[in-house]
Amino acid sequence: MKKIIVYYCGKWAERLLTVERYKETAYFIDDDLPVEGTVSFFGEGLSKPVYKPDILDSEDPDNIIILISDNYHYGDAKKTLEAKGLTENRHFFNGWKLSPNFYKLYYSDSSWQSNEENDRELINQNSYDDRSRIMASLIPEDVGSLLDIGCGACFLKQYLPDRIKYYGLDYCQREGADFVCDINNEAMPDIKVDMYYMAGLVYYVDDMDKFISGLTNAEYILFDYGGTERYLRLDGVPADPLVNARNNFVSPEEIFNILRKYGFTYEKGWWDPQNGKVGWHIYLFKKLKTD
């Protein structure tokens, strides 16, 4: 992970940072320092050094992320950092308005592929099997074929009726898969099916608009979306490598708007509140017929 540096060490920094994020902070910088010293928001045992901005001259810009903690003085900090050759929303961010790009950059050394040791690990994850069963129950009667994009261990196949022809696709060779395709860098295989099925996939798409625009050979799209609203908060990023390695934090509403843009409309769905917590949401969209 990249080194976290916080610009401004006053009251707004104390209000912004949780204990967890404070512990991750390497040091603070501030313009108005009579002398460089330390700051202790959560007790003397958790003191952090405070330096003048010139310390950044000794940092590798590609290895740091700066959070500006004082929204009122954001413009001043921005001028200082840009004068040092640093770029907004790449090297420094407004800590009160973090964009999804912050999380992608911060966890850029983590890869969801690296967390998949082998197919055996996938097979042991029973929650994926449950999800496949529920999603299969939403497949319309007129679907005779589907492409399982990001098929993994092909959990879905066991829940499909014999009338449905199954095709699997993943970024690497999987047992039971028919296609190997890096969906972020390669064109989808030119195969006509009735449905695109996507379980646990949407988080790993680099450009959602570009991806959906290429889904032209099926009438239906069935996909799921886990509860990730809390991950957008500075104080809510979990220590989960698969979550932290997401390619995007696109919301369901944003995905819906893109689907509508390319002629799809919502048909039905399913969701699991998990005793008040946000769980799986599953959505079925259908392509509108045009004259």
Indicate the SS3 state at residue 136: helix
- 276 pLDDT above the threshold of 50: no
Q: Which residues pair with 179 in a beta bridge?
A: 169
What average pLDDT score do residues 278-283 get? 78
| Mean pLDDT computed over every residue of the chain | 84
Asked whether the beta carbons of 222 and 197 are under 8 A apart, the reply is yes
Higher pLDDT, 113 or 118: 113
Q: What is the pLDDT of residue 245?
A: 53
- 229 pLDDT above the threshold of 80: no
Q: What is the pLDDT of residue 119?
A: 44
Q: Which helix (H) or strand (E) holds 258?
A: helix 252-261
What average pLDDT score do residues 77-93 get? 95
Query: pLDDT, tens digit, for every residue of 36-54?
Result: 899 988 877 789 999 999 9
- 262 pLDDT above the threshold of 70: yes
Q: Which residues pair with 172 in a beta bridge?
A: none
Annotate 193-212 with b (16+ C-beta within 10 A) or e (fewer): bbbbbbbbbbbbbeebeebb
Distance CA 90, CA 82 (A): 11
Query: pLDDT, tens digit, for every residue of 121-166?
Result: 444 455 678 889 999 999 999 999 999 999 988 999 999 999 999 9
Q: What percent of the chain clears pLDDT 70, i.e. is strictly above it?
A: 79
Question: Closest by alpha carbon to 198, among 210, 213, 215?
Answer: 215
Look up residue 48 and give its two tokens.
């952090």
Look up residue 4 and give its two tokens.
């976290």
Cβ-based neighbours of 289, under 8 Å, separated by 6 or more: none
Query: pLDDT, tens digit, for every residue of 50-80?
Result: 999 999 999 999 999 999 999 999 999 999 9
Q: What is the pLDDT of residue 241?
A: 45
Q: Where are the alpha helices (DSSP H) in 25-92?
A: 74-83
Structural domains in the chain, sorted by start: 3-106 (3.40.50), 113-287 (3.40.50.150)
What average pLDDT score do residues 247-261 get? 86
- 251 pLDDT above the threshold of 90: no
Query: pLDDT, tens digit, for every residue of 233-245?
Result: 444 444 444 455 5
pTM, entire model:
0.62
Higher pLDDT, 95 or 105: 95
Look up residue 99 and give its two tokens.
């964009």
What average pLDDT score do residues 15-28 get? 90
Weakest-pLDDT range from 94-103, 158-167, 196-205: 94-103
What average pLDDT score do residues 251-263 get? 93
